[in-house]
Chains A and B, each alone.
Chain A
Amino acid sequence: MADEKFEPKIVAFTCNWCSYAGADLAGTSRIQYAPNMRIIRVMCSGRVEPNFILEAFQQGADGVCVLGCHFGDCHYISGNYEANRRMELLTKLFKHMGLDEGRIMIEWVSASEGERFSQVVNKFTEQVRELGPLPEGYADKIALLRGAIEGERLRIVLGSTKRAFDSGGVEEEKYNNALFDIARDEIDRVKMFKALDKADAPLTVPQFSEMTGIPKMTIWRHVLSMTRKNILEAVGEEHHYMLYQRRAV
């Protein structure tokens, strides 16, 4: 087994106009490339939600890449910029969660770049192969990330990037920092919900902290915000701490 070469499963989201055509060109030109790649055609790289990528991992992918048009060439003007921004955030979140950021990639391949397509695919396949199969605990982390990313708060901010930048009213760095902060918050909160589910009982701040590994002060900030937003409620007291549970919707 040890000598057997690991063959990763790779999912590539390719845009209809450039990279999918680039893959076709590689085929017509009979250019060989690694067979690990499973291509999913999308109309635009901007269509790819971070969720799709996480779903791919949950369905058994070892690496996921997004391939789109070069900057300035997007058939829909700015879809590739949006895709890039989401990938940047996802990369940061992979790092934050302790996941290999080498398992995700975004690249640009035009319709005339058959050769380049094969190089990009080969290189990424090799990179994922070196990382090996998904390690233990990966699935849980991916699930956490997915929980956070599917929440309204993060979806709003993620979906509003173009509008925010086009308004000229916010600096890109400030927005990206806010995006990352919100994502981290949401990951924490998914952890807290999981802890509540696991305990199947209301929890105190120290109990939350114990079960999630998040510092108590951070937990307290989440509690303050989530009680304000009627997501959590205090239902009692235990050893000088209030007990909190999810509020029934």
Chain B
Amino acid sequence: MIGVFICFCGQNIGGYINVPELTDYFNNWRDDVVAFNTTFLCSEIGQDLIKDKIEELNLDAVVVASCSPKHHGGIFQNCIGQKMNQYRWEFANIREQCAWVTPNKKNATEKAKAIIAGAIEKAMLMNDIGSTRVPVTKDVLIIGGGIAGMHGSLELTDKGFHVHMVEKKETIGGHMVQFDRVFPTDDCAMCTSSPILAEVAMDPLIDIYSLSEVIEVKGRPGEYRVTIRRNPRYIDESKCTACGDCTTHCPVEAWSEWHYGMATRAATYKPLAQAVPLKNRIEKESCIRCGTCENVCKANAIMYDQQPEEFEITVGAIMISTGYDILDLSNTEYHQEHPNVISHLQLEAIKVPSGPTAGEILRPSDGKMPKHLVFVLCAGSRDRRHNVYCSKVCCMYTTKNARLIKSEHPEMKITICYIDVRAAGRGYEEYFDKAREMGINYVRGNVSEIVPNGEDLILRVEDTFTGEPLEMEADLVVLSSGMIPSQGTRDMSEVIHVVSGADKFLAPVHVKIAPVDTANTGVYIAGTVEAPKPIQECITDAGLVASRISTFLKDPEIEIDLKTSKINPEICIKCGTCADNCVYDAIDTTGEDFKVQDVSCQACGKCSVVCPTGAIDLQLFTEDQLIKQVDGILAEDKDSIIGFCCYQCGYNAADLAGTAKAFIDPKIKVVLVPCSGRVTIQHMLYPFFKGAKGVFVAACLEGQCHYIDGNLQAKEKVKLAKKSLDLMGIGGRKLNLFNMSSAEGPKFVAASKRMVEICQ
């Protein structure tokens, strides 16, 4: 017996749909279906009604016909879970996807019948879904030892976790330790960060792997097996005392990468006096193996023949804090290849007191102290040719550098060209105001071109206050170059399959309410790996990640609902196609029978689509459930156009169309799928055999699939199914794929309109 509970939602549904008629209809629909209605199903009265009826009528499953499950799905699941298995229910979204998009009450009521009928058919096949417990490891991997990584590691060790920190460079510290001072306090960056460096170095619960990279991550949340490659330092860390004798005698001189080419270094060096680990390294590209360091090293630490070393560690959770780089604007309109056009990171390298000129601003072409220093804001930012996005911190660090230089050299003319100054933050506006009072010249105009003029430069700018085109001469130009994800950050989306945005920064699950969580359980992001941001936000992120990880790993075991995929060993032929298609490495092919590792499985269902025998299927959104739901809809209204909408984007967009009270033809009937990659060719063709007028798939934008490539797989399948439909004489044009983000309600409206036009 199935109980259908229909909600008036006050006038929200009741005003557009004839709820009493609907209730009567389903009460007389079939013997095994009973229907009820109430004003607000989500209220305590509504919930009690559901609970009472489950008990009284011994219901097998429940259909909730109300708002989108994205609103109160949790409430109903919890309510039903008190009386029977919490998955023995199905919703019928008759508010956002019916009442609010269908102006005519009669039509809306008819559409609601089809939606509810589909839900009842699906609910008939609902099984109990259990849960399982898996053990977790209390070790944590932190990738990237910048300010976010360092802060996160200390927070985690304070909570008792053992941290493995992997750093690509020869020292941890990241960008912050390369800076002179930090805004808005003008604190010395090293003075504020070196205590953190020292604390990390001394913490017995932190293992630091410098010059190392994460090259593979396998396993499951709670028990990730991580392969780390340690690149050779060519110096034995256990012996080196960082005395510096090798550096003194090394005959090689090369441009220092750590100083972005603003200083020279020997082939053996340590990048900064406070390096962690405090060890020298030999940089192989510049080393000529003359053997001098070996001769002078009293500790016998030189190891020319050191090889890369790979080893595996097991961790329960991962924090990615691999940070940013900046755009290289050489050979662009900014002419960074000119020696006197430098980036702000190069300026910091010159400006640090421990730098090549002891903090004096001397330009790279000839060591001249500039008379007119020009800062170019938004260099490569907010610009379709480079980065479309704003790098957020440039206005402030540029103001900082201008202020610091002006206070040391009041006679120096300093100009800042800007589009607009974004000084939102504690003390920022005041900081900016002070800069103008100090006599720093702000010109509102985007620099269109920098023209080399011998050793000097000419900048072409339009002053947008006066409308006058300006030409100014400068003897040093500093570009506030846009930030981009570092190579390490880019690599992580390959190694750990964390979803990244179009800008290649790693994407959180939800930018507002889950800003450090990723789609991969147990993997978190902190700092500029996610987007450009100032140091304090990196620290906030890191603290939040530490909190999220300590929550995730608080118990020796974690509980997971088994709505995952499951393999039927009797028909599985062990071809491994599912495993090849699983980006989460969730299918264990090592045992006698292939098994799904429930903790890794993200329940996208791409595996069941590719299985040649149908041996693997999701336990929720099963093959049969989807087919039966389509049956139910078409039995009520065979003129329907079935839209398979993915949970992450397409379905949300359909809901948004409803919230906006847009018009959607009642022929359109949405069938929810976890991912567009879950939709098989059979799903695409089947509705046509039952009389449907059309079928479409609404998926995430390309490159933004929540499950990496589900929408790309759907695209291929739609192509094939279109061909089949052509051959059958039905017409491939009646099947389409639409890509839309979860925020693009209008795109869903347009897609619906298009389908109705095509399928007349």
Tell yes or no: B159 within 8 A of A by CB.
Answer: no
Tell yes or no: B371 within 8 A of A by CB.
Answer: yes
Q: Is A224's CB under 8 angstroms from B264's CB?
A: yes
- A237-B369 contact in complex given A156-B290, A164-B289, C-beta closer than 8 Å: yes
Q: Is A164's CB under 8 angstroms from B291's CB?
A: yes
- A219-B369 contact in complex given A156-B249, A164-B291, C-beta closer than 8 Å: no
**Proximity string of chain B (379-397) to chain A, C-beta cutoff 8 Å, 1 when within and 0 when not:** 0000000000000000000
Q: A227-B356, A241-B368 given. 12 additional CB < 8 A pairs? A: A152-B249, A156-B292, A157-B290, A167-B289, A169-B289, A174-B288, A178-B288, A205-B368, A217-B366, A224-B263, A224-B264, A229-B248
- A228-B289 contact in complex given A157-B251, A185-B253, C-beta closer than 8 Å: no
Q: Is A228's CB under 8 angstroms from B304's CB?
A: no
Tell yes or no: B365 within 8 A of A by CB.
Answer: yes
In Å, the complex CA distance between A166 and B462 comes to 62
* 8 shortest interchain CB distances as A-B pairs: A160-B290, A216-B366, A169-B289, A170-B289, A164-B289, A153-B251, A225-B264, A205-B367
Chain B residues near A153 (CB-CB < 8 A): 251
Chain B residues near A30 (CB-CB < 8 A): none
Q: Is B366's CB under 8 angstroms from A240's CB?
A: no
In Å, the complex CA distance between A185 and B339 comes to 20
Chain B residues near A240 (CB-CB < 8 A): 368-371
Tell yes or no: A193 within 8 A of B by CB.
Answer: no
Interface residues in A168-206 (C-beta closer than 8 Å to B): 169-170, 174-175, 178, 182, 185, 204-206
**Proximity string of chain B (246-287) to chain A, C-beta cutoff 8 Å, 1 when within and 0 when not:** 001101110000000001100000000000000000000001
Chain A residues at the B interface, C-beta cutoff of 8 Å: 152-154, 156-157, 160, 163-164, 167, 169-170, 174-175, 178, 182, 185, 204-206, 209, 216-217, 219-221, 223-225, 227-229, 234, 237, 240-242
Chain B residues at the A interface, C-beta cutoff of 8 Å: 248-249, 251-253, 263-264, 287-292, 304-305, 339, 356-358, 360, 362, 364-371, 455
Q: Is A167's CB under 8 angstroms from B291's CB?
A: yes
Chain A residues near B366 (CB-CB < 8 A): 205-206, 209, 216-217, 219-220, 241
Can you list 22 pairs linking A and B with CB atoms under 8 Å apart?
Answer: A152-B251, A154-B251, A156-B249, A157-B290, A164-B290, A164-B291, A167-B291, A175-B289, A205-B366, A205-B368, A206-B366, A209-B366, A220-B367, A224-B356, A225-B264, A228-B264, A234-B357, A240-B370, A241-B368, A242-B360, A242-B362, A242-B369
Distance in Å: Cβ of A32 to nearest Cβ of chain B: 46
A182 nearest in chain B by CB position: B251
Chain A residues near B251 (CB-CB < 8 A): 152-154, 156-157, 182
B255 nearest in chain A by CB position: A221
In Å, the complex CA distance between A200 and B370 comes to 27
Chain B residues near A178 (CB-CB < 8 A): 252, 288
Q: Is B365's CB under 8 angstroms from A157's CB?
A: no
Q: Is B292's CB under 8 angstroms from A225's CB?
A: no
Distance in Å: Cβ of B233 to nearest Cβ of chain A: 15
Chain B residues near A164 (CB-CB < 8 A): 288-291
Question: Residue A241 contacts which of B289, B291, B367, B455 (CB distance < 8 angstroms)?
Answer: B367
In Å, the complex CA distance between A200 and B713 comes to 77
Chain B residues near A157 (CB-CB < 8 A): 251, 288, 290
Chain A residues near B360 (CB-CB < 8 A): 234, 242
A174 nearest in chain B by CB position: B288
Q: Is B264's CB under 8 angstroms from A163's CB?
A: no
A155 nearest in chain B by CB position: B251
Q: Is B367's CB under 8 angstroms from A169's CB?
A: no
Distance in Å: Cβ of B253 to nearest Cβ of chain A: 5
In Å, the complex CA distance between A39 and B539 comes to 75
In Å, the complex CA distance between A206 and B367 comes to 9
Q: Is B253's CB under 8 angstroms from A225's CB?
A: yes
Distance in Å: Cβ of B96 to nearest Cβ of chain A: 65
In Å, the complex CA distance between A227 and B291 comes to 24
B360 nearest in chain A by CB position: A242
Distance in Å: Cβ of B282 to nearest Cβ of chain A: 11
Q: Is B291's CB under 8 angstroms from A170's CB?
A: no
- A170-B288 contact in complex given A178-B252, A185-B253, A224-B263, C-beta closer than 8 Å: yes
Q: Is A221's CB under 8 angstroms from B264's CB?
A: yes
Chain B residues near A174 (CB-CB < 8 A): 288
Distance in Å: Cβ of A207 to nearest Cβ of chain B: 11
Chain A residues near B292 (CB-CB < 8 A): 156, 160
Chain B residues near A152 (CB-CB < 8 A): 249, 251
Q: Is A228's CB under 8 angstroms from B362's CB?
A: no
Chain A residues near B356 (CB-CB < 8 A): 224, 227-228
Chain A residues near B369 (CB-CB < 8 A): 237, 240-242
